[in-house]
Amino acid sequence: MDDVELDKGGAPHQTTADGYDPLTTQQGVPVGDDQNHLKAGARGPMLVEDFHFREKIFHFDHERIPERVVHARGYGMRGYFELTDDLSNVTDAKVLTEVGTKTPAFMRLSTVAGSAGSPDLVRDVRGFAVKLYTSQGNWDLVGNNIPVFFIQDAIKFPDLIHSVKPAPDRGFPQAQSAHDNFWDFVSLTPESMHMVMWHVSDRTIPRSFRFMEGFGVHTFRLLKGDQSTFVKFHWKPKLGMQSVLWNEAVKINGADPDYHRRDIWNAIETGDYPEWELGVQLFDQEFADSFAFDVLDPTKIIPEEEVPVRIIGRLVLDENVDNFFAETEQVAFCTQNVVRGIGFTNDPLLQGRNFSYLDTQLKRLGGPNFTHIPVNAPKCPFANFQQDGHMAMCNPSGRANYEPNSWGTDEGGPRENPENGYKHHPQEVSGEAVKLRPESFADHYSQARQFYISQTEVEQGHMQDALAFELSKVERADIRERVVAHLRNIDEGLAESVADALGMDLPDAIEPLVEPDRSLDASDALSILKNGPDSFAGRTLGILVSEGVDADLVTSLQSRIKDVGGSCKVVALTVAGVRLSDDGELEADEKIEGGPSVLFDAVAVIVTSDGAEQMADVPEARDFVSDAVSHKKFIAFTDGAEKLFEAAGLDANTIKGCFAVSDAESLDAFVEQLKELRAWSRGG
């Protein structure tokens, strides 16, 4: 019995002769042959009694559950939320009142429009969903990396998603909005214009999941007894915000379509744990009544200058999942999942989501028992009289499966708890049953304009280019004209720039329901570049090397990048790496064809003159430096690298943001500059 141990269920566990766990059926029956199915003779027909074959194929045939209609391409991580500021004056939620408590968490980040097989760096909104396993039950904060949405009422959600998904007659385009259907829909839906501004901004092409904000989108309530306080939730990345250029995104999708997934997986595996701060905007009914816009309108924000964001906690992701399907694919988020002390408003998009999300899980996960799946199950005690259905694993025990009942505590099951149970906010509700949009939702352009004028000149240029690109893919001229007509209500210069890029006359502005308020001040909080990082922490330097390079220079550079919290990837002509000047060997992380400069935040070209001459004949090496220059990355280069730059038609000594390096002092100047991330002054 030396090779027998008890498994978690107490059953004997027999290993094979060579020490492996035995392969078994789902019923635990050891499998003797997993290479051949049972036949009537070596060349005969299959015998139906081969239960192992039938079970194996049955499971394979059904291992794909229905893909999410939206947010199909997602990535999940485990972690914890730690409260740092007490909100007990406005809420009964323990997760927001017990400072220092670490609440287990699961986060899923995703793109919205593409299928599960689409690339990471498409221009798209990113889903930002967090499940907190609190001591009072699960709280799901299901939002996006953008604080507003395209529509005001949930009844329009199928239309929005149908418009951006592949057209039914041709099955494309995939994972992109640059096509007629999407722009046709939004051009006929003026309420979308604020979100359109965010959509064409750099927010929709983030450098990494780790460098983007998250938002709860809606106005929620914090509840303490019968007292209600309105709240907006914000997730702010500890490493600051960062995006890529559109040209980079296109090339990254070709070089590494799993770029975002790989980035956050590697960060967690190396102990560089991603972290966000949870902030809240708290306001009362008096402010809501005085605010220029309706706080129930999901196409509007409350500028941080009017209601500052108060940081109350932090979310740390410190563990990758054990199995992608079991957790990331099967996790079920529902906006209705709140705990005592957190409640809803009458936001018409939120009200619809509360219905839709639960309904969706029944289809995707096969029945009402999806909460029995470990990733969805609460980590606090739970008990109810719900029973049976597909995959039931937690049926009530004892005699009673109903309440009220008169059985004792041993058999009677759980009871309602008026003292500690969830309490909805008491509010007066009256009015006619009508299908009507309130007049307070009618201003569709003022905040769209505010977002645009809040961007830096560089960011505004990116938005102009994005609109021109997207609309250039729209075949119908009338759709293009309608979009530009909307832009005139946002910013005349923006409309003129896009019309000029499309080679079209400037159309008349669309008549707005409410005249836009052009006096709104710019909000610095809305710009990525105005809220960039103050260090190179969490970023990656790509080092292109050749045979015989200065060993001290390379190791010194690697050491300095590590000191500022960054990492280095070595790129060479072969994956075997290079021999250094001291005869030491430096292994490469990437072969030049697989390690283009678009994958890195900054680059260093540390090569000898002979190495540069050899690389000058390699197209990918020329692209490495020309793309780095085009994408305004800071570049370090040795004297020997000049031949490679010349082969790419460039003079490194005249390019802003390029640093000639040869010793420790020159390296220090380069590394110090990296905290600004981009050489925007390079122009072009």
Pull the structure tokens for residue 278.
Answer: 């949870």
Cβ-based burial of 98 (10 A; exposed 0-12, middle 13-18, buried ≥19): middle
| 3-state SS assignment for residue 658 | strand
| 3-state SS assignment for residue 134 | strand
DSSP states of 307-342: SPPEEEEEEEEEEE-S-HIIIIIT----TT---TTE
DSSP states of 443-496: --SHHHHHHHHTS-HHHHHHHHHHHHHHHHT---HHHHHHHHHHHTTT-HHHHH
Q: Would the CA dihedral through 473, 476, 479, 483 be positive or negative?
A: positive
Pull the structure tokens for residue 264.
Answer: 């956050």
Alpha-carbon gap, residue 195 to 212, rounded angstroms:
17
From the list 52, 71, 199, 486, the catalytic residue is: 71
| 3-state SS assignment for residue 568 | strand
Look up 144 and say whether it is catalytic: yes
From the list 144, 253, 320, 376, the catalytic residue is: 144
Pairing of strands 275-283, 227-237: antiparallel
Alpha-carbon gap, residue 413 to 330, rounded angstroms:
29
Q: How far apart are the first and last CA of the chain?
A: 75
User: What single DSSP character describes residue 216?
Assistant: -
Alpha-carbon gap, residue 260 to 207, rounded angstroms:
8
Question: Can you give the three-state secondary structure of 68-87, one letter per residue?
Answer: CCCCCCEEEEEEEEEECCCC
User: What single DSSP character describes residue 211?
Assistant: G
CA 123, chain centre distance (Å):
12
Look up 417 and say whether it is catalytic: no
| 3-state SS assignment for residue 109 | strand
How many beta carbons lie within 10 A of that of residue 10, not counting itself? 7
| Residues with catalytic function | 71, 144
